[in-house]
Amino acid sequence: MTTVETRAVVDLLGVLAYAELTAFDRLAEDARMAPTPAGHAALARMAAAEIGHHDRLVRRLGELGADPAWAMAPFVPALDGFHASTRPRTWLEGLVKAYVGDGLAADFHREIAGFLPEPDRSLILEVLADTGHADFAVREVRAAIAAEPALAGRLALWGRRLVGEAISQSQAVIADREQLARLITTGTGDVAGIGRLIDRITAAHTERMRTLGLNP
Amino acid sequence: MTTVETRAVVDLLGVLAYAELTAFDRLAEDARMAPTPAGHAALARMAAAEIGHHDRLVRRLGELGADPAWAMAPFVPALDGFHASTRPRTWLEGLVKAYVGDGLAADFHREIAGFLPEPDRSLILEVLADTGHADFAVREVRAAIAAEPALAGRLALWGRRLVGEAISQSQAVIADREQLARLITTGTGDVAGIGRLIDRITAAHTERMRTLGLNP
């Protein structure tokens, strides 16, 4: 890898490592809104999976000679900002955030990982692979909407707000990290390539909203 | 197993399952006081281990035909009470609680598990086996005391408060659960046996305080 490439890889591993750490915090916090111990444990299990991923990313940062805390630091404001502005007020909002928000972030990071050399491409794809816990969120949200159809409108609004906040924070991060921005523009090839990337991410998001029974 | 034995086993699995679930919550919460992302991740990792244990206990409750939520319910007031009255105010108090509190609870449950038939005895001993994460707490607390010896007195007081609260909540639980109380009195044989059990638990606690560099 060239120095420029290494810097972009460290950026991507850093943002992901911090994303997993904050995802742990938020899922653990939201778990406490669960109406049953089974729901509580299900969200706690999602949180536990995140910390396993975090550990693998931190290990790889160490192999690359990067200080993990230093690599994560530039992304703290954007990720903390995202979570502060999308704090779920209910158990169902927490589940929608866990499913829609994490899905969106995973898609975005997966696209960028495609531009990286090995072994980092595979590491990131593995870390982002769905751990199957998402099924739980889908089941719960669908059941709640079936019991109270009026919920669908409010939760759809919430889903759209999550995307809006995610996009605005991602733009801020990319504008601020030159190597990361270059990786994306080089990887996608041109403006049309960036457009297609955004289309793919949007399509997957729409699909997830539909899976939950929400109007995208 | 006789019905009476099954009830005691369900009680013990229930109290442990809820203990692991609340331990997850508290460790996840305390992790956020960490002064470094490495410390944050270390406590999050301890929390993640608890949820894995919780899942195994819940599965076994299901095998025994017990409703896990129902089996945990009687122990919610005592365990929530313990955590509410021992909420760490600092990162170091959180670490002492993670090490001393969890160690004490594990010793107590391990003693009682010894009175159970298989496979529950082995399941509980496995679930309680130290996952090695405790080393982190020991290293951090010792380093902090080395840097600021005045901390030792305050943290020792905190350790003693944890034991006091743990004992008073355990007594309340045992007084309330006839089958569990009978399991302990039958298992230990007589009053002298109970005395020896308490001696063993106290000795292990003293040892843990010393390991942290604290006066027991």
| B24 vs A18, A44, A72: nearest CB | A44
Residues of chain A positioned with their CB less than 8 A from the CB of B69:
36-38
**Distance separating alpha carbons of residues A69 and B137, to the nearest angstrom:** 19
pLDDT at A2: 66
Q: Give yes or no for residue B8 having a pLDDT over 80.
A: yes
CA distance B28 to chain A (A): 6
pLDDT at B1: 62
Contact status of A171 with chain B (Cβ, < 8 Å): no
Contact status of A84 with chain B (Cβ, < 8 Å): no
Count CB neighbours of B119 within 10 A: 11
Q: Give yes or no for residue B148 having a pLDDT over 90.
A: yes
| A28 vs B25, B36, B55: nearest CB | B25
**Distance separating alpha carbons of residues A206 and A202, to the nearest angstrom:** 6
Contact status of B75 with chain A (Cβ, < 8 Å): no
Contact A55 B41 (CB under 8 A): yes
Residues of chain B positioned with their CB less than 8 A from the CB of A72:
37
pLDDT at B196: 86
Is B133 strand, coil or helix?
Answer: coil
Residues of chain A positioned with their CB less than 8 A from the CB of B38:
58, 68-69
Contact status of A117 with chain B (Cβ, < 8 Å): no
Contact status of A99 with chain B (Cβ, < 8 Å): no
pLDDT at A85: 92
pLDDT at A40: 94
| B28 vs A18, A25, A55: nearest CB | A25
- HEC-encoded secondary structure of chain A: CCHHHHHHHHHHHHHHHHHHHHHHHHHHHHHCCCCCHHHHHHHHHHHHHHHHHHHHHHHHHHHCCCCHHHHHHHHHHHHHHHHHHCCCCCHHHHHHHHHHHHHHHHHHHHHHHCCCCCCHHHHHHHHHCCCCCHHHHHHHHHHHHHHCCCHHHHHHHHHHHHHHHHHHHHHHHHHHCHHHHHHHHHHHCCHHHHHHHHHHHHHHHHHHHHHHCCCC
pLDDT at B193: 83
pLDDT at B141: 95
Mutate to test the interface with A, among B16, B18, B22, B24 (most CBs of A within 10 A): B24
Residues of chain B positioned with their CB less than 8 A from the CB of A55:
41, 45
pLDDT at B170: 85
What is the chain A residue with the closest CA to B70?
A: A37
pLDDT at B191: 77
pLDDT at A196: 86
ipTM over 0.90: no
Q: Give one word for B65, left, alpha or beta, with left for phi > 0 and alpha for psi -120 to 50.
A: left
Instruction: List Cβ neighbours of A145 (8 Å cut-off, separation of 6 or more).
Output: A151, A152, A155, A212, A213, A214
The mean pLDDT value for B134-144 works out to 91
CA distance A184 to chain B (A): 28
CA distance A46 to chain B (A): 9
CA distance A100 to chain B (A): 23
Work out the mean pLDDT of chain B and round it to a whole number: 89
Q: pLDDT by residue (tens digit) across B48-84? A: 988 988 999 999 999 999 999 999 999 999 999 999 9
Contact B41 A58 (CB under 8 A): yes
Domains of chain A: residue spans and CATH: 3-212 (1.20.1260.10)
Mutate to test the interface with B, among A16, A51, A72 (most CBs of B within 10 A): A51
CA distance B198 to chain A (A): 32
| B69 vs A31, A38, A52: nearest CB | A38
Contact status of A18 with chain B (Cβ, < 8 Å): yes
Q: Give yes or no for residue B37 having a pLDDT over 90.
A: yes
Residues of chain B positioned with their CB less than 8 A from the CB of A29:
28-29
**Distance separating alpha carbons of residues B173 and B167, to the nearest angstrom:** 10
Residues with pLDDT less than 50, chain A: none
CA distance B51 to chain A (A): 6
pLDDT at B58: 95
What are the tokens at A12? 């991507």
Q: pLDDT by residue (tens digit) across A94-122? A: 999 999 988 888 888 888 888 888 899 99
